[in-house]
Structure 1
Amino acid sequence: MSNLLWKSLVVSPAVLGATLLVSATAIAAPNASTEVSTTEQPVAVEVAQPEIVAQAAPTNNDSKVLDQVNRYSNEGKTNNSLSQVTSVSQFSDVQPTDWAFQALQSLVERYGCIAGYPNGTYRGNRALTRYEFAAGLNACLDRVNELIATATADLVTKQDLATLQRLQEEFSAELATLRGRVDALEARTAELEANQFSTTTKLVGEAIFAVSDVFGGNSGEQNNTVFQDRVRLALQTSFTGRDVLTTRLTASNATAFTLADNNNAAINSAEPLQTYNVGGNGGNSVVVDRLTYEAPLGPVQVYLAAAGGKHSHYAAVNNPYFFDKTDGGNGALSTFSSENPIYRIGGGAGIAFNIPFGQGGSIIKPSSITVGYLASEADSPTSGEGLFNGNYAALGQLNFGLGDRIAVAATYVHGYHGAGSALFDNGEQDNIATGVVGSNLGNFAGGFNRLTSEQSAYSSNSFGLSAAFRPSDKLSISGFISYSDLTGFGANDNAEVWSYGGGIALPDFGKKGNVLGIFGGVQPYARGIQAGSNNLPYQVEGFYKYRVSDNISITPGVIWLSSPGQNDNNDDAFIGTLRTTFTF
């Protein structure tokens, strides 16, 4: 290391000087910190003044080293991987007026030892860890060492040797520590890579344990306390660092409660469904419930689903803290509170695009258009089914923001639904015959003949609006409204379905990572379809997600269902749940 340092300054003292200029704040950082900010002005390092003493580097800590390895691994998987550049002009965030421009220009164009990110940025204003500085310094010195091999030996003077010797003595401890930490980091990285599951694939898992029961009236008498589970294992594969192929396996024994009317007869309804009731097909048998691929195509984000595609996978739902993208165990308890029911219309296989447009001003932020098409019977060659002739839903959505704390989405969905198909089937009609949210009439009003009670095919045109407002980091307010116009292909079988709701979430309530949430509204309902069923099926849910650790959360909650089946004569039902979620 000492020979390398000596030779570096023999060839060009400006090389090491430029490196120290760019990274001086990292060398002089306090011992108690492992990160420094590159936004500070440069600290002048005079080669001829040996009295400058750098502070000793922090003591090596195994947990911090592993944390840095994990961060490095995560960066490579989230489009943050480094790549060599050949000109400082390739950096979109480096301007000639920047204080470090000349140093970067020299390091990049003359010595080629500075790397940038795939999106053409250098990110000089973000925090720089000592590990990153050590890696960058080592790369530059290795590059200079290659140049030394072709240099002549008659450039050294006695004055240079004296200056270099003093500099070496002053920084010998720091340079040795940096090199040692890089070696240790490389060794640990090599060990992790040698024992990792795959170089392109990581395993993400979730297990839900839930104890639940129904109280109140006939519904409480007809149901018992249950202990149910759902387990999901997802293989997330990236081939370029910017794309992801998701293959998810699900096993579950969770089934929904059955509500009872005032005559103690069962109500065929999706009103009591909870999020962990969705997915799987009972008995803890394993199924592939999601096979999707997401990748950028220029500025456009492409979503391709071979199985298990959902509109909420690719479209902005705008219901923070209640919505969980995996329909899993970290958001609201009920399917109604988690997202606007309009995103539950259809699902399966298809394609979607998210297209950004506009630059945005001081108030209106850059916007995007989302379009998608999903067919729930795309795998069947049977007549009247398939990718285009079976059940499908085509979505179009406009997304935009107002300032930094308000997000709004206007959504339109056109769908076709075969005879007996639920409107809000989530593409899982074969597994959940009731639909996944809403009353029975809200799901089957389309194509329902009021005179003969026969069911036929129908089409739907649905309109929705969702918005989220975050006035502070400790408060989030969100809500939605949806309207569906259902047109049957027979007589007396048209209908309208409405739904709306809103919620308040208090993140970090009581402890960082905890969430207190209250959500209320009206589940999807149809009016004027059946005598005695014209009341509104209200729902109010309250839950408190307590974060035990980074990987375990416990969520107790209560769901109140009023007028089940759209009938005030039916007793209200209360669902109590204690959900434990393990993520890994």
Structure 2
Amino acid sequence: MPVKASEYGEKDITPNERSMAEVTSVYQLSDVQPTDWVFVALQSLIEQYSCITNKRDRTYQSNRPLTRYEFAVELNVCINAIYQQQVNQLSQLPQVDIAKIKRLQDEFAIELLSLQNHMEVLEMKTANLKSKQFSTTTTLSGSIVAVVSGLTGDSADGNSDTQIESNIALNYRARLNLITSLTGKDRLLVRLQSSNRVPNFNGASGTNMTRLSFEVGNTNDKLDINLLEYRFPVSESLNLYLFANAASHHYYATVLNPYFASFGGAKGSPSRFLERNPIYRIGFISPAGVAAVYNVNQAIRLDLGYLAENAGNLNEGLFRGTYSALAQLSFKPAQNLELGLTYLRNYSADGNLLHRTGSNFSNIPFGANVPLVSNAYGMEALWRIAPKMSVSGWFGYINAERVDGIDSEADIINYAVNFAFLDLFKESAIGGLGLGVPPKVVSNTIASREDRETGLHLEAFYQFPITDNITLIPGIIYLINPNHNDNDGDIFVGTIRTVFNF
């Protein structure tokens, strides 16, 4: 009774039936109207046997015309469901219903045959993919980022006559992601990475304001374990994360900056600063830790995390060394608007906040190897103004205090606004314009470590998909008063990224 490969398979099709399947008549192009007998007959079967259960009340309430193929899909689902019900119940259908089903099958024989052929093709493709898959429990994906970059302008050393000495650099970063699920709902991520060093421009420029989003360390072309993360659900609303190394708060917390931020800088903003509010970065080079994401409902989300720099060190562990704890509440007061409130507590044994953006003083407010604690607060927002335009931004404030017995504190702020233009000149392309003030020390008990002027960061990039697997991203960064010092001239940073995904 249901459509089966054994009944309507390719080997059983006669030349005459094949000819009928290949030629579409004018009658076959007509839609099935709600008043047609076939429509009424199917509706009665659905109501009697509840054979289409994706309807909320298990009844067929469509009052619009259906194409013959759409009708055949519904018919096939219903017939198969009725057949399975009879097998389970070991009972026979009434003759009147058998006759009704037979007449419907005869009326839509060509459409049902076409549907079966499509199903067989899909089954063959699925079987082929399964035979070639990497593992039954593990998927493999990867990316290669090739970067041409350079900078020019005045070195941020307080002397307007010192020019940057830098050549054009060509670098790469390759990553392999092994994602394993043991239960179907959990995820184990093992990220392997190989690179020659994507340049850290703060050495050439004298400021962290020139650092790039996709900057990575040098593995000397060897493949290292770059990240080890395990995520599993406690309930439908709560997910827990365990990080063994190289974690960051933005790996689990939403940063409300979707078109500028990315997981590792492969796409989005060319700069480290405009990827996300710098307070998410505070405290670490390669920490381990735990995190939780709780979706209170569709509009409210709570992110919690605790990361420790030397968690594997018996002398420091999770709680006696450099650490960072985050709590964030994000909510959607409207469908196109999202807001976030972030708090982060940090202890740094060497006195470096390590957000690695902004001025030198904003990273090390009291000097090297002066231990400190900091409390950071952030307000983030994302507004989707139109289907193809959004604006995002933030304000961040850090209060840092010495903990070496000397009473001293510093206040650090930063803020930014980003504009994203979707499908710009091409589908899936993204244009980005951003501007802001990178982290700046606005007050410090040590007056000599305040930033007296205000620098400005401006950038533009265009994310252009050449194919489904290749993306080209040119970008430019323009810095005014680098290091928040008007004695330093402007700096330009240019990048061209080519991203290969597989």
Q: For residue 442 of structure 1, what is the amino acid of its counterpart?
A: S
Instruction: Provide the residue aligned with 1:489 in structure 2.
Output: 403
Instruction: Provide the residue aligned with 1:390 in structure 2.
Output: 321
The answer as to 2:210 corresponding to 1:272 is yes
Distance in 2 separating the partners of 1:134 and 1:248 = 47
Instruction: Provide the residue aligned with 2:463 in structure 1.
Output: 545
Instruction: Provide the residue aligned with 1:103 in structure 2.
Output: 46
Q: For residue 377 of structure 1, what is the amino acid of its counterpart?
A: N
- Over 3 Å counting, the alpha-carbon distance change for 1:173 and 1:555 in structure 2 is same
Contact 2:418/2:435, CA 8 A, preserved across alignment: yes
Instruction: Provide the residue aligned with 1:571 in structure 2.
Output: 489
- Over 3 Å counting, the alpha-carbon distance change for 1:160 and 1:581 in structure 2 is closer
- Over 3 Å counting, the alpha-carbon distance change for 1:103 and 1:387 in structure 2 is same
Q: For residue 209 of structure 1, what is the amino acid of its counterpart?
A: A
Distance in 2 separating the partners of 1:291 and 1:257 = 24
Structure 2 unmatched runs, 5+: 6-26, 156-161
Q: TM-score normalized by structure 1?
A: 0.70
Q: For residue 411 of structure 2, what is the amino acid of its counterpart?
A: E
Q: For residue 308 of structure 1, what is the amino acid of its counterpart?
A: A
Match of 1:46 among 5, 16, 37: 37
- Over 3 Å counting, the alpha-carbon distance change for 1:114 and 1:42 in structure 2 is farther
Using the TM superposition, give the Cα deviation of residue 227 of structure 1 relative to its aligned residue in structure 2, in angstroms. Answer: 0.5
Using the TM superposition, give the Cα deviation of residue 329 of structure 1 relative to its aligned residue in structure 2, in angstroms. Answer: 1.9
CA deviations 1:309-356 (Å, max 9, x no partner) are 2211211111121111x1222210001011000111135222222223
Instruction: Provide the residue aligned with 2:288 in structure 1.
Output: 349
Contact 1:135/1:182, CA 8 A, preserved across alignment: no
- Provide the aligned C-alpha RMSD in A: 3.9
Distance in 2 separating the partners of 1:321 and 1:300 = 26
Q: For residue 493 of structure 2, what is the amino acid of its counterpart?
A: I
Instruction: State how 1:157-556 maps to structure 2 within 5 Å.
Output: 166-218=103-155, 221-259=164-202, 269-278=207-216, 280-298=217-235, 299-324=237-262, 326-346=263-283, 348-357=287-296, 366-381=299-314, 383=315, 385-420=316-351, 422-425=352-355, 435=356, 437-445=357-365, 447-448=366-367, 455-490=369-404, 491=406, 493-527=408-442, 528=444, 529=446, 530=448, 533-556=451-474
CA deviations 1:46-93 (Å, max 9, x no partner) are 36999x9xxxxxxxxxxxxxxxxxxxxxxxxxxxxxxxxxxxxxxxxx
Using the TM superposition, give the Cα deviation of residue 182 of structure 1 relative to its aligned residue in structure 2, in angstroms. Answer: 2.2
Q: For residue 415 of structure 2, what is the amino acid of its counterpart?
A: Y
Using the TM superposition, give the Cα deviation of residue 251 of structure 1 relative to its aligned residue in structure 2, in angstroms. Answer: 1.6
Paired residue secondary structure (2:209)? coil
Distance in 1 separating the partners of 2:320 and 2:487 = 41
Contact 1:413/1:462, CA 8 A, preserved across alignment: yes
Distance in 2 separating the partners of 1:415 and 1:237 = 32
Number of paired residues? 462
Q: For residue 501 of structure 2, what is the amino acid of its counterpart?
A: T
Using the TM superposition, give the Cα deviation of residue 469 of structure 1 relative to its aligned residue in structure 2, in angstroms. Answer: 0.9
Distance in 2 separating the partners of 1:234 and 1:322 = 22
Using the TM superposition, give the Cα deviation of residue 156 of structure 1 relative to its aligned residue in structure 2, in angstroms. Answer: 5.1
Using the TM superposition, give the Cα deviation of residue 244 of structure 1 relative to its aligned residue in structure 2, in angstroms. Answer: 1.9
Distance in 2 separating the partners of 1:417 and 1:411 = 19
Paired residue secondary structure (1:317)? coil
Contact 1:107/1:114, CA 8 A, preserved across alignment: yes
Using the TM superposition, give the Cα deviation of residue 460 of structure 1 relative to its aligned residue in structure 2, in angstroms. Answer: 0.7
Paired residue secondary structure (1:512)? coil
Distance in 2 separating the partners of 1:101 and 1:160 = 13
Distance in 1 separating the partners of 2:359 and 2:337 = 31
Q: For residue 252 of structure 2, what is the amino acid of its counterpart?
A: Y
Paired residue secondary structure (1:502)? strand
Using the TM superposition, give the Cα deviation of residue 521 of structure 1 relative to its aligned residue in structure 2, in angstroms. Answer: 0.9
Q: For residue 550 of structure 1, what is the amino acid of its counterpart?
A: D
Paired residue secondary structure (2:421)? strand
Q: TM-score normalized by structure 2?
A: 0.81
Contact 1:4/1:145, CA 8 A, preserved across alignment: no
Give the share of equivalent positions with the same residue, in percent: 31
Using the TM superposition, name which of 141-150 and 289-298 deviates more: 141-150
Q: For residue 581 of structure 1, what is the amino acid of its counterpart?
A: V
Contact 1:114/1:136, CA 8 A, preserved across alignment: no
Contact 2:431/2:463, CA 8 A, preserved across alignment: yes
Paired residue secondary structure (2:210)? coil
Contact 1:554/1:581, CA 8 A, preserved across alignment: yes
- Over 3 Å counting, the alpha-carbon distance change for 1:165 and 1:211 in structure 2 is closer
